[in-house]
Structure 1
Amino acid sequence: MDVNYLMNSLWVMVSAVLVIFMIGGFIMLEAGSTRMKNAGHIAGKTIFTFGLASLVFWAVGFGFIFGDNANFFVGLSNFFYGGAELDLALNSSVFFLFQLAFSGIAITIALGGFAERAKLSVYLIFTVLFSALVYPVVAHWIWGGGWLAEHGKQDFAGSTVVHLTGAMAAFAATILLKPRIGKYNKDGSANNIYGHNQVFTALGVLILWVGWFGFNAGSTVSVDAGFFGFVALNTNLAAGAGAVAALIISWVVLGKSDIPTILNGALAGLVAITASCAFVDTWAAVVIGFVAGILVFYSARFFEKRKIDDPIFALSVHGAAGVWGTLSTGFFATPELATVGKPGLFYGGGLEQLGVQAMGVGVSGLYAFVVSFAILAIVKKVIGGLRVTEEEEIMGLDVSEHGSYGYPEVFLTSENQKVSS
């Protein structure tokens, strides 16, 4: 068997494992960024919804993205994928698993907008429908040879396909679910609802940062010329620049180097470089990450002032940074690296590629938002509401949805003390 085929397969398999392990990063990030009474729920529902999304991707998602007999909207074959070899330079089952991991990340991002107030049943229903009707459609348009691909849309590893799509679904959820109890006062001012463990959040960010090497560098799906190393370098530089920029802007505006902002800055840099990591020079990766670090700070403040309660900052980290990252190739893509589309504005390409990028952002984001909103609105009508009761929300979803605490020693000791007193 061809050595290059085997090496490609091994590299992409390792990358798939890294991307799947990012689910662990999201568990730590979301649990740490929210309150202790919901930590077990967040961990459990994240594992379960990834498993559910995997089954949906196997049944229909892969076929809608990469199937033959495609139209401008979706592909129409390879449903219930059984391991058949495709015309690829690596093992097809490995490629399938790699793509499945991306689908799992997209729904995990989307469900961040539901945090601390949605019914478990809503998570489950939305996971099935998003994984079948939202993510695969956008992915086909850009990665599966759809109409945006024909226009030369540049999105190497998914600033639009994964991150913006997930963020727009989260946006629909935050609007329909409305803010958490206690987030806003009657005069419209916002209260900080602090996450219970910044160490968890930081560890989650680090796991995501490491996993991103599979996410971006793995998207080369090849070991040829070691190009994945260049992609990884750009990825790391953008993350570092995003963290530094977020630290600086928070220090300047707030007078303190805010830890959640720094962590969001690193993630924003990673999200932003995801579209362009294979198309831009290293200096541009630093610029892209730095701008993302500043953007995420102001975006979070923008949404909070408009009473959009986004507990894990999905709209800012994955949405605003995803938009910027997708547009950035229209500025910085070089003639040597632009294997898809055309060079950016700063390399003599004019406004054409920037226009394609803007069109892709607009259409993909609008589709993800409208369909996600419609799904949730219908679910709300059918099951009688998306949100747990006020009593259940105050109690915490660990107990109200699962009947046990994520931190039993803390809560049970507290309850025993109340009884004994």
Structure 2
Amino acid sequence: MEAGLFTANNVWMMVCTALVFFMHTGFAFLEIGLTRQKNTINILFKNIFIITVGLLMYYIGGFNLMYPGFAEGSSGILDFAGFGIAAPENGMTPDYADGGYTWWTDFLFQGMFAATAATIVSGAVAERIKIGPFMIFTILYVGLVYPIVGSWQWGGGFLSTLGGDDAGFYDFAGSTLVHSVGGWGALIAIWLLGSRIGKFGDDGKPRAIPGHSIPMATAGVLILWLGWFGFNGGSVLSADPTNTSLVLVTTSLAAAAGGVGAILLSTILTKNLDLTMFLNGILGGLVGITAGADLMSPNEAVAIGFIAGLIIPLGVSFIDKIRLDDPVGAVTVHLICGIWGTLAVGIFGAKAGADQFLYQLTGVGAAGAFCCITAFIFIFALKKTVGIRVSKEEEIEGLDIHEHGMDAYADFRMNQH
């Protein structure tokens, strides 16, 4: 391989790494905007903690847990290549990863993905979880659960070889391996945590708890859309012009179609042009296309995104009906649309077929079972030992002042009185 092409590939992957990192700004803005002002510091603290500790956990062992180099004949379920990230002899040469990037770029790009799973949980449990137990959960979930599930497909584990070497479960950039992993954790967490005070009335009907900055939430979604160019575009694992350009087109079309699908159905159901549904529809489209962005035609991308958009108002309504409180719609966006996008690989695109659909379903089931069991063990243990829910007084007055001793906006508490 020419040195210039190797350098170009590596530079593209580093740009994508930066874009995925920037997505954490989008997640933070979205979560802040859709929740109340009195909990802003708490949400920002959680997001910064997830990035810093998530990257360190991936360095300590997560990377080698996710890419352990399963031995021939292995079950492909669990293996570990050791602590740290010492580069192999060919790690800085075109012999590594077919010349797509260096070992160091590989680690950093994958490390940016790792923290995303816990960020998804952060939004779902906003405004009522104790910060200490959440930090412990983040360490365990990012350090163990995410890389183990990822190893099953991206690390050459059992899901990647279902049906033979040329078949298997397929998840291009993580509709299941990233988004549903976070979504399953979020689902278990909000079930064990309970709803915010005032979310459900005595009649059991859900009540809206408006966020304090919809402009900030909108900015967050636009930042996430931009970051998805790195999330999906980088998953080509090189700067290959044909594949990268196709992936960026399918990603953008699915996002646009998701937004349109969500606002159309939401308007029909509520007779109201709800911007938050529009925003979550865009995210649903992005999550939906992530599993098969490199396999779909533009028409198929639009269809996948549009259906994901339709899922958004239906999913949000369903979560409310079963009396689960998800302030930012994380379970609908990341779990339900993640499942849809994963199954769509067996319905649309280059791999469509009954066998592939079954492989996709197997992957969804395996990841779901493992994530639910581990998340339940972690959170239930924390609930029974240190407790996971702040007191009623703390929730009413805000987590910022009680958990952190400060306000996000200097005049906030003055204006309350």
TM normalised by structure 1 equals 0.93
**Aligned counterpart, 1:136:** 147
What's the offset of the Cα at 1:83?
Answer: 4.1
User: 5+ residue gaps in structure 1?
Assistant: 335-342, 346-350, 416-421
What's the offset of the Cα at 1:69?
Answer: 4.8
**Aligned counterpart, 1:327:** 343
What's the offset of the Cα at 1:8?
Answer: 1.2
What's the offset of the Cα at 1:410?
Answer: 2.4
Name the CA distance, whole Å, in 2 between partners of 1:413 and 1:325.
45
What's the offset of the Cα at 1:269?
Answer: 0.1
**Aligned counterpart, 2:114:** 103
370-379 vs 260-269, which moves further: 370-379
**Aligned counterpart, 1:344:** 352
Match of 1:285 among 273, 277, 301: 301
Change (3 A) 1:225 1:260: closer
**Aligned counterpart, 1:408:** 410
**Identity over aligned pairs, percent:** 40
Q: What letter is aligned with 1:132?
A: G
* SS of match in other structure, 2:153: helix
What's the offset of the Cα at 1:110?
Answer: 1.9
**Aligned counterpart, 1:340:** none
**Aligned counterpart, 1:16:** 17
Change (3 A) 1:172 1:228: same
Q: What letter is aligned with 1:364?
A: A
Equivalent positions of 1:369-380 (< 5 A) are 369-380=372-383
Name the CA distance, whole Å, in 1 between partners of 2:284 and 2:250.
14
**Aligned counterpart, 2:226:** 210
Instruction: Give a deviation string over 1:338-391, Cα, whole Å, max 9, x none.
Output: xxxxx203xxxxx100011011111111211111111111122221x1011111
**Aligned counterpart, 1:76:** 80
Name the CA distance, whole Å, in 2 between partners of 1:95 and 1:414.
49
Q: What letter is aligned with 2:374?
A: V
Name the CA distance, whole Å, in 2 between partners of 1:75 and 1:228.
32
1:149 aligns with 2:151: no
Equivalent positions of 1:165-180 (< 5 A) are 165-180=181-196
What's the offset of the Cα at 1:67?
Answer: 1.9
* SS of match in other structure, 1:53: helix
Name the CA distance, whole Å, in 2 between partners of 1:59 and 1:27.
25
Q: Is the 8 A contact 1:41 1:406 kept in 2?
A: no
1:361 aligns with 2:372: no
1:6 aligns with 2:3: no
**Aligned counterpart, 1:50:** 51
Match of 1:382 among 373, 382, 385: 385
Name the CA distance, whole Å, in 1 between partners of 2:21 and 2:132.
24
Match of 1:159 among 156, 159, 175: 175
TM normalised by structure 2 equals 0.94
Q: What letter is aligned with 1:80?
A: G
**Aligned counterpart, 1:268:** 284
* SS of match in other structure, 1:142: coil
Q: Is the 8 A contact 2:70 2:156 kept in 1?
A: no
Name the CA distance, whole Å, in 1 between partners of 2:267 and 2:209.
21
Q: What letter is aligned with 1:292?
A: A
Q: What letter is aligned with 1:344?
A: A
1:200 aligns with 2:243: no
Q: What letter is aligned with 1:381?
A: K
Q: Is the 8 A contact 2:184 2:371 kept in 1?
A: yes
**Aligned counterpart, 1:394:** 396
User: 5+ residue gaps in structure 2?
Assistant: 163-167
Name the CA distance, whole Å, in 2 between partners of 1:4 and 1:78.
32
**Aligned counterpart, 1:235:** 251
Q: Is the 8 A contact 2:189 2:379 kept in 1?
A: yes
**Aligned counterpart, 1:36:** 37
Instruction: Give a deviation string over 1:223-252, Cα, whole Å, max 9, x none.
Output: 224420110000000000000111111111
Name the CA distance, whole Å, in 2 between partners of 1:32 and 1:299.
20
What's the offset of the Cα at 1:217?
Answer: 0.9
Q: What letter is aligned with 2:409?
A: Y
Name the CA distance, whole Å, in 1 between partners of 2:319 and 2:339.
16
Q: Is the 8 A contact 1:62 1:78 kept in 2?
A: no
Name the CA distance, whole Å, in 1 between partners of 2:55 and 2:341.
27
Match of 1:301 among 317, 322, 340: 317
Q: Is the 8 A contact 2:28 2:43 kept in 1?
A: yes
What's the offset of the Cα at 1:82?
Answer: 3.4
Q: Is the 8 A contact 1:272 1:325 kept in 2?
A: yes
Name the CA distance, whole Å, in 2 between partners of 1:201 and 1:298.
21
Name the CA distance, whole Å, in 1 between partners of 2:40 and 2:331.
21
287-296 vs 78-87, which moves further: 78-87
What's the offset of the Cα at 1:198?
Answer: 0.6
